[in-house]
Structure 1
């Protein structure tokens, strides 16, 4: 048994979150373990985010220009006083026992200094089938990995303050994969736990174009972050077989220009893709029925295409620009 921390600072980075911030803060203040302080870091919003934050007894910090979630979280860390910092994204509403669950795990699990949770399949606001796809996939891949992991997802995540004293803060050069990069610095010395009981409702992407653009943009950092990982790979949202099947489909499609008979190659790759994660297919069928599975797989393929394209571009940028990707000065010093 280790010490159970009680003094908790909640840090909420927010950018144009007028739609969800009230629900987020209401859920934070309804926790069974009340937080000591709640800090909202407004990252130069242009909507009513600050006005909504002021409806609650929060400490509101404002950045002069939009700098991304890493910089916003760092500002919140520096301003906080808690033994534990609970990070909550402004489009998430934690369930009432989320913080209590995290503190129990921190207090009862030796070597664990970071606990993060999972999205529920029920959205914060129901915006249709694209959002349903997102939440089903997000819930499933986290659920299959519960327990000790090497990656923390900071949408709902409790971390002992001493972790940041040891490994440093978020890399502010990164606007995506910043949690993966920080986790890589943490994992060897500070245990990370993924809990199925620490949950939240999430307002996820609901428009296809926006979803694909975001996936393409974020995946550009996959290669530089992965290249600089020091230990074994951490959490991965998608099965390698599915990614390889997507690459095979793309690579073999031009061959059909030679003869229609060669369409069998991308066709076989698509069958491989559909069969790459049978557990996911069974999960979607249980949750939404057989009819939804086809829509889910079609959208899943489009997302994979965006990820593969973004990763390819990011890999090229990494080769041509040594400043693209994580900051090298944030790497842990040898022997620490």
Structure 2
């Protein structure tokens, strides 16, 4: 084992992650890389998370109040001693070589600011078809984006502590889009890579409404950022997927044509539905190849609903952007300078 390897601090932001935490901590402790420092930042959980981490021998830093993942990550970075920070969410079980691979990527090129991982196509814990849907959908969209991106995959990524300090911390005002904002800031000076060489299984929401609520707010909160910068994130949010969501919404909007014009008018929403599918045909082929036809139909139905929610979130964000100066300025206030303290 090389003795000159940089110390890596694994930072685990957590809020009510007791369901997944034992698997997350076990995977971190079984990493092939050394030397390793592990810190869990508990964001005012109300479940058994703190006891689980402490019983596993993992140091726990507690926030004074629930401030969101950005606050938890910043808190961990301030207390970290490592030259490299590896952030992993408390619902992710890393592959054994994830940290070692990410460190090798950073060491290979000083121009790389962050090395981000991709979650596997199977959920960490399977208890509902919704989890299966989200694991497959998110995996495919991520793998299709592999390479250089402008969007930070915050569930598992490595970054040099010096680069984190230079870029500044995550914006603590943001709860749904802190990783998009950070990616834009980091990408001004460094390349951001996402690679399936760094991977692990991720836990997902069991209930459909919980997932849809998150996606709605993520779409809504992106509006002022994209309006100010006049560009979407490179990699994940492609133009084709945007048109797929719009086509799904138009398919629903044109359904009432059947009432005055009869069944012949149904061809319009049917064609729009077909366009929506065609815009992400690769994903649907991927799912059909892996799962049975019955699940494939479930996947298509859920993703159609997800497209509607995304459009609804963007529409709500556009209305809020027009009406609220405070919302328009959501990303304008600079994040406070990063500072580091010993763990």
CA 289–109 in structure 1, closer or farther in 2 if over 3 Å, else same = farther
Specify every segment of 5 or more residues in structure 1 that has no aligned partner in the other structure, as ranges.
Answer: none
Equivalent residue of 1:159, what SS? strand
Equivalent residue of 2:55, what SS? coil
Q: 1:35: how far off?
A: 5.0
Which of 292, 305, 328 matches 2:332? 328
Q: 1:5: how far off?
A: 5.8
Number of aligned residue pairs: give it: 329
Q: 1:256: how far off?
A: 3.7
CA 295–51 in structure 1, closer or farther in 2 if over 3 Å, else same = same
Equivalent residue of 2:249, what SS? helix
* TM-score normalized with structure 2 length: 0.90
CA 8–203 in structure 1, closer or farther in 2 if over 3 Å, else same = same
Asked if the contact 2:87/2:156 (under 8 Å) is kept, the reply is yes
The range that moved more, 264-273 or 98-107, is 264-273
Equivalent residue of 2:326, what SS? coil
Asked if the contact 1:37/1:58 (under 8 Å) is kept, the reply is no
Q: Which residue of 1 aligns with 2:244?
A: 242
Q: Which residue of 2 aligns with 1:19?
A: 19
Equivalent residue of 1:192, what SS? strand
Matches within 5 A, 1:120-131: 120-131=120-131
Rounded to whole Å, the distance in 2 between the matches of 1:257 and 1:107 is: 63
CA 25–34 in structure 1, closer or farther in 2 if over 3 Å, else same = farther
Q: Which residue of 1 aligns with 2:253?
A: 251
Asked if the contact 1:9/1:82 (under 8 Å) is kept, the reply is yes
Q: Which residue of 2 aligns with 1:62?
A: 62
The range that moved more, 24-33 or 289-298, is 289-298
Matches within 5 A, 1:155-194: 155-194=155-194
Equivalent residue of 1:329, what SS? coil
Q: 1:181: how far off?
A: 0.5
Rounded to whole Å, the distance in 2 between the matches of 1:323 and 1:5 is: 46
Rounded to whole Å, the distance in 2 between the matches of 1:141 and 1:236 is: 6
Q: 1:248: how far off?
A: 1.9
The range that moved more, 289-298 or 83-92, is 289-298
Alignment RMSD, CA only?
2.0
Matches within 5 A, 1:83-162: 83-162=83-162
CA 207–237 in structure 1, closer or farther in 2 if over 3 Å, else same = farther
Asked if the contact 1:70/1:175 (under 8 Å) is kept, the reply is yes
CA 172–34 in structure 1, closer or farther in 2 if over 3 Å, else same = same
CA 188–267 in structure 1, closer or farther in 2 if over 3 Å, else same = same
Q: 1:237: how far off?
A: 4.7
Q: 1:331: how far off?
A: 8.1
Q: Which residue of 2 aligns with 1:285?
A: 288
Specify every segment of 5 or more residues in structure 2 that has no aligned partner in the other structure, as ranges.
Answer: 337-343
Rounded to whole Å, the distance in 2 between the matches of 1:88 and 1:121 is: 17
Q: 1:255: how far off?
A: 3.6
Rounded to whole Å, the distance in 1 between the matches of 2:335 and 2:18 is: 36
